[in-house]
Structure 1
Amino acid sequence: MQNVIFMGTPDYAQKILQRLIDTGDINVVAVYTQPDKPVGRKKVLTPPPVKTTAQEYNIPVYQPQKLRDEKTVEKLLTIPCDFIVVAAYGQILPRKVLDHAPCINLHASILPQYRGASPIQQTLLHGDKITGVTAMLMEEGLDTGDILKIETIAVDDDMMVEELFEQLTEIAAALTIDVLHNFNVYTPKKQNEAEATHCKKITKADGEVSFDNAQELYNKYRAFTPWPGIYLSSGLKLKKMKLESADEAHQDAGKIITIDKESIVVTCKQGSLRIYKVQPQSKKEMDVLSYINGKRVTLEDTLL
């Protein structure tokens, strides 16, 4: 029986935790997760998904504001374990914790690519054809540890972030069990620092788009739906679309060049997009035909 301390916070981590719990020869002895946070307009204090799952199985839960706090570290060091498994926890582990047991991190990219907070979104933003999950030994740097194993998958041109998230989560859960069971088999491999790239936390402002490049705008739509969503400087949100053309050059950006029964085609300076649904400011989502009819715009007019 392997005793494991688990550290994680969002849905991605919760599903890995569930897989650990369901595996007969792994005993999760403690869970560390971020503090409860206010959610929604009413700011209801809500526990992270990892906490909810841990409590269902009566696993002790710790939610320190700062893992580096001396008392927090001292308490953790009193918990005997064979491994510490970390998945989207959101805090850097101090040296004393790293020395307590082998710390295995499951990062949703092919490291050293996309170290940081938003690897799944970055895969779509860059139009990558392949991505994966890296199991690595943690050190004090951000996603810089030695690689134990990488599992990869193909990324379809129209894959949205939620679908990619689900696939990578399943891979991460299986990879966690594999690495724990075969830890002594894998030889840790140094990352190539020359190939390292980094990504930041996504913010609401990242969702603003313009009709410059159709492929780039479509990739933002794939990466940022449902959150933070994509929107024009006018505040109009683009809710459903597909890439019509990536190569054609157009003189006028945002011009409506096609109207059919359920969609319109709008030009970008490079390429064009077919739009099905939009959401004006302070209104509900609607089909794009109702929107342009309400605005009294038609062929050759602009959506801007």
Structure 2
Amino acid sequence: MKIIFMGTPDYAKAILQKIINTKDMQVVAVYTQPDKPVGRKKVMTPPEVKTLALENDIDVFQPNRLRDESVVKELLKIECDYIVVAAYGQILPLEILQHAPCINLHASILPQYRGASPIQQTLLNGDIKTGVTAMLMDVGLDTGDIIKIKEIDVNNTEMVESLFDRLTDVACALTIDVLQNFSLYPHVKQDDSLSSHCSKITKEDGEVEFKDATTLYNKYRAFTPWPGVYLSSRLKLKNIEFIEAQSENEAGKILHVDKNSIVVGCENGTLRILRVQPQSKNEMDILSYINGKRLTVADTLS
């Protein structure tokens, strides 16, 4: 079985590794995003998918635009049975979709959370269930026929990195299952009336207010470590815990101070804060912060 693989981040790298390790599967080409400058020194850094491919002597292609005519012609010369796509970051043109069945591994239960940030959106909405959808791609954004869905439970304290790792494991197993049994699974059209969309996360999405404890805590789960959650003062909330959602309080009021944390009121609910990071300073425990600011019970954290 010959496969063209398209993907860029860690999620894609794990799936590519699973395919490489599977008997009777040959990755004949890898398409990934161009190298990008990383860090303060802007060192040009390849995607991890590229590094893995080169380590396994697989041809790598990094077009700026997959839709360019020359790029499409080059790809169509590569014989393959399937094209597997996982968080590639570019839309596939019709000519490529017609070259071979294109299977996308999307980290949500489609048609829910089409788009760029399904794992974060699961946590933002406080969902108790999510999964990975193997989908036969079409010209739309995550709109193709569903081949198979594998669901998992989500607990109410799970963080994005943990959920990412678990969904990656699911996607790896599902990829091999679908490739080996492609003709056995019926392809089911998505119900567009049930669809929802999630956009790419930006740094600005991390700003929070002490309005609703559940909403703030879910943002903390979804946006830690990046972009993090922070107040309008740019004080980052590095370690927080959810307490309850029923009480009514003055937003940001310190309700209690104990030996290693404080309890802060939201307009609805309360949160425990253990560690923070002021702008342009190192992370610190919350007691060091409030002592430095001379804050105590009944003062407002801002």
- Tell me if both proteins adopt one fold, taking TM over 0.5 as the criterion: yes
C-alpha distance in 1 between matches for 2:252 and 2:174: 45
TM-score by length of structure 2 reads: 1.00
Matches within 5 A, 1:270-281: 270-281=268-279
Question: What TM-score, normalized to structure 1?
Answer: 0.99
CA distance in 2, matches of 1:130, 1:240: 24
Cross-structure match for 1:51: 50
Q: Hey, what's the Cα distance between the residues in 2 that align with 1:64 and 1:220?
A: 34
Q: Percent identity?
A: 67
State the Cα RMSD in Å.
0.4
Q: Which residue of 2 aligns with 1:166?
A: 165
* Residue aligning to 2:301: 303
Residue 247 of structure 1 aligns to a residue whose secondary structure is coil
Q: Which aligned pairs between 1:56-95 and structure 2 lie closer than 5 A? A: 56-95=55-94
Distance of 1:28 and 1:37 partners within structure 2: 24
Q: Distance in 2 between matches of 1:43 and 1:203?
A: 20
User: Which stretches in structure 2 are left out of the alignment for 5+ residues?
Assistant: none
Deviation at 1:24, TM superposition (A): 1.2
- The Cα shift of 1:27 comes to 0.3
For 1:37, the equivalent position in structure 2 comes to: 36
Partner of 1:17: 16
2:129 corresponds to 1:135: no
Give 1:258 shift: 1.0
Q: How big is the shift at 1:123?
A: 0.1
Q: How far is 1:77 from its partner?
A: 0.3
Map 1:216-235 to 2 at 5 A. Answer: 216-235=215-234
Length, aligned pairs only: 302
Superposed structure 1 runs of 4+ greater than 3 Å apart: none
Provide the rounded CA distance (Å) in 2 between the counterparts of 1:47 and 1:96.
27
Tell me what 1:239 maps to: 238
Q: What is the correspondence of 1:243-262 to structure 2 with a 5 Å cutoff?
A: 243-250=242-249, 252-262=250-260
Deviations along 1:156-214, one digit per CA (max 9) or x if unpaired, are 10000000000000000000000000000001000000000001000000000000000
Aligned-partner Cα distance in 2 for 1:83–1:164: 28
Aligned to 1:179: 178
Choose from 263, 266, 272 the match for 2:264.
266
Aligned partner letter, 2:127: D
| Paired letter, 1:45 | M
Q: Which runs of 5+ in 1 are unaligned?
A: none
